[in-house]
Amino acid sequence: MSSNNPMAAPVPGRRAALILGWTDSKPYHLRRYERMWNTKGYTPVARATPLHELCIPERKGFPMAREVLRKVAALNPTELVMHVFSNGGGFNYLQVRAVLEEEQEFTTLRKVLRGVVFDSLPSLYVHPVALIMLSPRSDEPLPRKAVKLLWALGKNLRYLIQWPVKGNPWRFYLPSLLNTPTDVPELFLYADGDDLIPSASIEEYVNRRRRRGARCEGVNFGRNSAHVSHHKLNQKAYEEAISRFLKRAVKALNNSCSSAVDGKERMRDSVIRSRL
């Protein structure tokens, strides 16, 4: 859900940024990113990711996707950017992107999507159950991680035991993510210092996406960063990377749209002249 941060108040007709938080994120975790997008002229709509959402069958996540997309659509944005965190945000991104592509209600919103920023994802190697249970903060002490692991197991046990009957929603995660549309540019923000999702895993994924025709960029913050902490530890470099990406991505897509419109107009004029 979007936080109560007054800076995130909807402003109709503005550019919008949809923020999908990491596993077990809370609204207050996402406020720094709401502030960042506000400074760039975007109205943020932020949604945290509860632990249990990662254990439910894929299609049952669609009501969440419709709800958050309706909040974005209410802004009547001229441009939309998505900001996705870790595999938890990636899981919800799949639901959002599926609804965006499949449902007529969101056709206008789909046309203004200009790019996607991925922070600390995806992982090609860590087991899904581990990703659900591990702390979203890789710089937490080991004892705290152990406590959170036990707490998460207890909280989500009723969902996990349903997997043999209802299906493991994570088995299609990576194939589905790899096959999402390649129509908008993608920026991947990651680090060698991320001890939850290896940088090599993200780089391999980026290469696979490029082979599918996606326009991908990547920024590695090196050893001096941690999982979903790149903005906190490298704020200036992080925001500059996003600004560069937006400038290139939005400009390229706007030019592409303009060229398509110009082409249609030239074709129409040609048809008119041929009739005269």
| Residues 122-178 pLDDT 10s | 987 654 445 544 444 445 566 766 676 666 666 566 555 555 545 555 667 888 899
In a 10 Å sphere around its CB, with 0-12 CB exposed, 13-18 middle and 19+ buried, how is residue 24 labelled? buried
Structure-token pair, residue 213: 């025709």
Torsion sign over Cα 95, 85, 248, 42: positive
Per residue in 26-79, pLDDT (tens digit) is 899 999 999 999 999 999 999 998 876 766 555 566 889 999 999 999 999 999
128 cis-preceded (ω within 30 degrees of 0): no
How many whole angstroms separate alpha carbon 196 and alpha carbon 138? 6
Structure-token pair, residue 243: 């600004």
What pLDDT, on a 0 to 100 scale, did the predictor assign at position 249? 82
Q: Which residue, among 216, 28, 50, has the nearest Cα to 121 in the 3D structure? A: 216
What pLDDT, on a 0 to 100 scale, did the predictor assign at position 195? 83
More confident residue, 273 or 57: 57
19, 30 in Cβ contact below 8 A?
Answer: yes
Range in 80-94, 129-143, 185-199, 207-221 with the lowest mean pLDDT: 129-143
> Quick one: pLDDT band at residue 190, thresholds 50, 70, 90?
very high
Range in 9-18, 19-28, 206-215, 224-233 with the lowest mean pLDDT: 9-18
User: Phi/psi zone of residue 2: left (φ > 0), alpha (ψ -120 to 50 degrees), beta?
Assistant: beta
What pLDDT, on a 0 to 100 scale, did the predictor assign at position 196? 83
